[in-house]
Amino acid sequence: MTQIFPHIIPKIEEWPVARLSENRADFIIRLNKFVFDQLVITHNNHLYDVISKPYIWKVSG
């Protein structure tokens, strides 16, 4: 009963995830910069307040 569908992008090398993994180091650098910039913007440059708060993991169940 399992039906196999054709790939949306036929060449695996052209899949977005494959392209990211080709240049993983650059991707991580850009991602870190983006996240840091968003934290600075969102929290008005009060990063100490953000990182000093304890984080409580919530497990739903």
User: What is residue 52's predicted lDDT score, i.e. its pLDDT?
Assistant: 82
pLDDT 10s per residue in the chain (61 long)? 689 999 999 999 999 888 888 888 998 999 999 999 998 898 888 888 878 877 776 776 5
User: What is residue 33's predicted lDDT score, i.e. its pLDDT?
Assistant: 96
- pTM > 0.75: no
User: What is residue 60's predicted lDDT score, i.e. its pLDDT?
Assistant: 67
Cα 4 from Cα 1, distance rounded (Å): 10
Give start and end residues of each alpha helix (H) in 1-61. Answer: 16-22, 24-42, 47-52
Q: What is the DSSP letter of 15?
A: S
